[in-house]
Structure 1
Amino acid sequence: MGLLFLAQLCGYLIPILEIPVLARALGVQEYGKVVLIQSVALLTSLLVEYGFSLSGSRQIAIARDERGALARIFGEVLSAKLMIFFVVSMVGVIVFLVQGSVFYDRELVFMGFLYFLAFGFSPFWFFQGLEKITVVVVVEVTLRFVGLLLLYVFIQGEQDAALALGIMAGFGLLNTSVGNAMCVNRVGKFCLSFAGGIEQIKLGFHVFIYKSSNNILMSAGPSLVGVTSGHVAVASYVPAEKIIRGFVGFVNPILIGFYPYLNRQFQLSKSNTMRLSWMIVIGMFFAGLMAAGLIFFVGDFLILKVLGTGFVVASDILKIFVLIIPFRLANQALGLCMLIPMGRDKATSFLMMFSSMMSMLLAALLSIWYGVGGVVMGFVIAEICLFFALVAVVFEGKNKYWKREGV
């Protein structure tokens, strides 16, 4: 968990440090091109990554002492990634041929393609399932800081835009190559399989929907506020939203750290694992309550001191938004520590997707009467409803377990 915290911290810190280095050297226009291509590459890499960070690591966690099974799972997941990569690449080529060359030179697009490869084929899921991520995290953090240093040294002007993206893509690709080489060393000989890849895509589909729904819910808030309440309201909403998102994001390593262990333990002792999972869920809920109370009382001070008196409204928004923290943490714990390890992927993904749509509709409706505060209230109400729905699915799944065991 400590290593996951380190990886996540660097994932936040290094992109922030890259901003002044690149923005000052490249200028507004070239920096804008680099950032846009970088963001598109990251977004498309999420499609290739699919739901394997959860579905793949779950399989690895269960079969981690069986080398033959590890080789089969690794080969099938790699096959699935290659299939998705082919489809995404074909769409990208068509888009580039139709429009892309008008706006960007081929060298920048090629570097963006390498960036896409680097993150799409990351084998972190494999080591996460093994619960052995020490070397992987050390290599990743080291390479990212070396890449940052090279950006500082070599990027001097707007003519270096392709070089900047090439440095970031190159070190990402090196990190992915080293990780995959370590996987091959661990599993030995493996085979690519079209049928196995299709099966992995089927297995990961509901987890992919689960992750995608959560990402949409986290990312769509500013756009919705802008549409319903205007760009001035967005300036009040975003600071509060970032505080909430930052806190919730830094709790994820705890849940991801428990995830492989709980998947394995569910195969051995369901009743004991359920007790442990409930302890995690309850612990997350009460930790969220304490965090919400703390942010509620110090939020005024933070926003006024950091942003100034012009953002007083953001403080009022934050006091409503904090209500989401305990339920968001509990819902993430229910999904990662109970429902997905129990095999309730389908029900969980459906509820997440339904909750995302309901939150958008409710937020848009409440914004008519309460403005940006109504948007936040809509998100909070939807999160509370999702909590009770997920708890109901847990008890339904628990009853099915006991029936299957003949209890």
Structure 2
Amino acid sequence: MPLKTGKSIGLLLLIQVSALAVPLATMPFLTRVLGPSSWGHLAAIQALAITLAIIVEYGYQYTATRSVSLARDSPDKVKGIIGDVFGAKIILSLVAILVAIGLYFLVPSFQESGALFIAGTIYAIILGWSPLWYFQGVERLETAAAIDVASKVLSAVWIFVAVRQPNDAVIVLGAQACLTAAATAWNISRMMRGAGLPTIRMSRAGKSLLEGFPLFLYRAVVTIYSAGSTAVLRGISTSIETGNYANADRLTTAAKSLVVPVGQVMFPKISRLHAENPADAKKLMMKSLVGVTVPFALAATAGIFLSPWLLPLFFGPDYGVTIPIFQILCLTLPLVAASNVLGIQWMLAKGREKAFNTLVVSSALASIVTMLILVPQLGGVGMAWSVIVAEGLLVLTMILYAVFSRE
């Protein structure tokens, strides 16, 4: 692996790990201080925030990174890309706010704390505006990564100092939103100093949205039936049941997120290789497939066998139901790794957007049907199995497409 590629993956892994490891570090504290009910409600709003943030982010961490990487020798083109992305994000932010308002009035459980819901919505918008895609595209991630990681560490410190009782759940999202906003504003100002002040043309934003739709669809669907499943469960179950599911989901989501930086770095490289040397592109994709799937399968096996001893130590004695849910969700680790490589690094890199969209939507529909059948009877366990169905079907159909499309 070239030095620059390894460095890029390492920096993105650092950002990704901090995004989930720092919140994970606060979980044993929060599950005990907030208690099962308040923790479950907070976890649901946090999951909703992550899901809404996907609307604003829209897959630009892939598509905009690729565009900037290809145009970085032309300052005017880079400035134009930034303007297009910013214009699109203004539209997407409004869409996310409208979705949040609709959910607030449609789902009574979200109305338990209006302040917490508002904080979650603001946090979602801020998350979606991260400009790390620019710094990755120009291969100047070091300082941006340091700022991003520092904001997450400081938010954890704020939480440990300020949260003392179940009613303090809003402080958690407030700390995360404020410090993420500071880091995002700082990195955007650094981007402006490097690229110049962009001109935002809303007419061009529409074109940018169309180009980024396939990756947005994939990330939105995967987020909804993974991280978003906690918010969905809160809408149809108790906060205590949601808290147990959220514990298992947070741990497995943290592990699954580690495959994202690999895809972010490999996607533009494999895209270029498809045009220059398809055989080399296939070899690189296969190496990536083995390189991420095998470690994730080993991690899943370890998680299944060790969870009965480790989870009670981590979350406390009030979350025993977390264990079987976690064991089921561990099965998603190698599935997500495989779908990320086969979908993003192969199908989308080859320009097979239509087939990719069909497979993603089909898996999402299967997840919804399974969810409607299993969740009313099994609660969090049923939600976990619905995620397995979606991920398994997606990987299976991608493999079948690769075999029968003769490509």
State which structure, 1 or 2, has the greater radius of gyration over its C-alpha atoms: 1
CA distance in 2, matches of 1:329, 1:269: 24
Moved more, 345-354 or 40-49: 40-49
Tell me which of 101, 106, 131 is aligned to 1:123: 131
Q: Which moved more, 1:146-155 or 1:282-291?
A: 146-155
Larger mean CA deviation between 356-365 and 374-383 belongs to: 374-383
Equivalent pairs counted in the alignment come to 396
| Aligned match of 2:179 | 171
Post-superposition shift, 1:213? 0.7
More divergent stretch after superposition (304-313 vs 208-217): 304-313
Q: Gapped runs of 5+ residues in structure 1?
A: 400-407
CA distance in 1, matches of 2:349, 2:277: 12
Does the Cα contact within 8 Å between 2:134 and 2:191 map onto a contact in 1? Answer: yes
Query: What aligned pairs does 1:193-272 form with structure 2 within 5 A after superposition?
Result: 193-219=201-227, 243-272=251-280
Give yes or no for the alignment of 1:283 onto 2:297.
Answer: no
1:391 & 1:200 partners in 2: Cα distance? 30
In 1, Cα distance between the equivalents of 2:173 and 2:246? 28
Q: Higher RCO, 1 or 2 (CA under 8 Å, sep at least 6)?
A: 2
- The structure 1 residue matched to 2:338, chosen from 294, 309, 330, is 330
Check the 8 A contact 1:206/1:349 in 2, yes or no. Answer: yes
Cα distance in 1 between the residues matched to 2:166 and 2:240: 32
The question of 1:82 aligning with 2:87 is answered: no
Contact kept in structure 2, 1:224 and 1:364, CA below 8 Å:
no
The letter of the residue matching 2:253 is R
- More displaced stretch, 291-300 vs 205-214: 291-300
Alpha-carbon spacing, 1:202–1:271, altered in 2? closer, same or farther (3 Å): same
- 1:61 deviation in Å? 2.8
**Distance (whole Å) between structure 1 residues aligned to residue 307 and residue 173 of structure 2:** 38
Q: Distance in 2 between matches of 1:297 and 1:165?
A: 33
Greater shift in the superposed pair: 45-54 or 153-162: 153-162
Cα distance 1:93–1:12, how it changes in 2: closer, same or farther (>3 A)?
Answer: closer
CA offset at residue 129 of structure 1? 2.9
Alignment deviations for residues 49-88 of structure 1 (CA, whole Å, 9 cap, x no partner): 2222222222223333332221111111111112223454
Report deviation, 1:4: 2.2
- State the partner residue of 2:359: 351
Structure 2 Cα separation of the partners of residues 264 and 180 of structure 1: 28
Q: Match of 2:394?
A: 386
When residues 29 and 69 of structure 1 are mapped into structure 2, their CA distance, relative to the original with a 3 A threshold, is same
- Matching of residues 134-145 of structure 1 within 5 Å: 134-145=142-153
Mapped to 1, the partners of 2:377 and 2:36 lie a distance apart of 39
Instruction: Please report the TM-score for the alignment, with normalisation by the length of structure 1.
Output: 0.74
1:10 to 15, 18, 22: 18
- Spell out, residue by residue over 1:248-280, the C-alpha distance to the aligned partner (whole angstroms, 9 max, x if none): 233333333333433344443332122101221
Q: Specify the alignment match of 2:64 in structure 1.
A: 56
Retained in 1: the 8 A contact 2:363–2:391?
yes
TM-score with structure 2 length normalisation? Answer: 0.74
Match in the other structure for 2:281: 273
Sequence identity, in percent? 22
- Distance 1:110-1:283 versus aligned 2 partners, 3 A rule: closer
Contact 1:61 1:264 in 2 (8 A): no
Matching of residues 90-169 of structure 1 within 5 Å: 115-149=123-157, 168-169=176-177
Kept in 1, the 8 Å contact 2:79–2:196? The answer is yes
Provide Cα deviations, 1:296-324, integer angstroms capped at 9, x if missing partner: 44445445776779949945982x65544
2:172 and 2:379 mapped to 1: Cα distance?
42
SS of corresponding position for 1:218: coil
